[in-house]
Structure 1
Amino acid sequence: MKTALSVVLLLMGLASAQFQFFDQFFHGSHQQQQAPQEKQNVASDSSWYRSNWEGATCDKYLCPDTLACVHFPHHCPCPHPDVEDKVELGDGIAICASKGGFKAGEAARKVELARKGLL
């Protein structure tokens, strides 16, 4: 009798574990259901940018692309320096251009060729 009772309890334990496994597999555990909130995309308008622009403090020149505070507009950094080179055109004007190749200064060389009408 004692052995039969042990076998019944063992089978009940296995059945319970099996149902818990399938419940978690198909429905997720209760902890997974309370997952942290996913990050949301920024708004599709310029409200996020404008609020950061308005909240920035700068007594000189506030760069429109990076919101960096610099003395002169041509001192603004490029927003993506890993893939852009800053090229100064003269007269206090600078642009950011995609890096042009494997050699340093390739973007500046191509901009100069374009200014001369050779590219």
Structure 2
Amino acid sequence: MTRLLALLGVLLLSTLVHAQFQFFEQMFGGGGGQERSQEDHNGPSDSVWYQRHYDGARCSKYLCPGTLACVHFPHHCPCAFPDEEEKFELGDGSKICVSKGGFKPGEAARKVELARKGLL
């Protein structure tokens, strides 16, 4: 009985270790060459990765080109970096993302309005 429990423990432990290594292998690009490594990404500009993900995205509405989010209207697209950017929906049905840049709350919105009026 003790041998059986020890064998089950070893099998369970080896399964967990194997799963953990598979996770890290996929996470850091060691998945058999399926994804490009970080070193390859430092080469010249190449849009193949983006095009592959864009073409493979499933969306029956509007697919946001910057984030690949699926939304009802283009001006509903989120900013790619919401912690660093503020989103502004413009009156023409479009949107822009503006760097918060350390401004006080509402300061970026004020500057966008001034720029829209031609005062900045």
User: For the superposition of Structure 1 and Structure 2, which TM-score range results when normalised by the shorter chain?
Assistant: 0.5 to 0.7
* Residue identity opposite 2:81 in structure 1: H
Mark the structure with the bigger radius of gyration.
1
Secondary structure at the counterpart of residue 90 of structure 1: coil
Matches within 5 A, 1:43-58: 44-58=45-59
Cα displacement (A) at 1:73: 0.2
Unpaired runs of 5+ residues, structure 1, are: 1-36
Secondary structure at the counterpart of residue 95 of structure 1: strand
* Structure 2 equivalent of residue 99 of structure 1: 100
Is contact 2:84–2:101 with CA below 8 Å preserved after alignment? no
Matches within 5 A, 1:7-26: none
Deviations 1:76-116 (A, max 9, x none): 00001111100111121110011144322221110110111
* Structure 2 equivalent of residue 118 of structure 1: 119
CA RMSD of aligned residues (A): 1.8
1:59 and 1:116, CA in 2 relative to 1: closer, same or farther beyond 3 A? Answer: same
Is contact 1:84–1:99 with CA below 8 Å preserved after alignment? yes
The percent of aligned pairs where both chains have the same amino acid is 70
Is contact 1:100–1:110 with CA below 8 Å preserved after alignment? no
Residues in 1 aligned to 2:102 and 2:117: alpha-carbon distance in whole angstroms: 20
* Structure 2 equivalent of residue 63 of structure 1: 64
Secondary structure at the counterpart of residue 90 of structure 2: strand
Question: TM-score, with normalisation over the residues of structure 2?
Answer: 0.62
* Structure 1 equivalent of residue 85 of structure 2: 84
Is contact 1:77–1:86 with CA below 8 Å preserved after alignment? yes
1:100 and 1:113, CA in 2 relative to 1: closer, same or farther beyond 3 A? Answer: farther
Residues in 2 aligned to 1:106 and 1:113: alpha-carbon distance in whole angstroms: 11
- How many positions carry a matched residue from both structures? 83
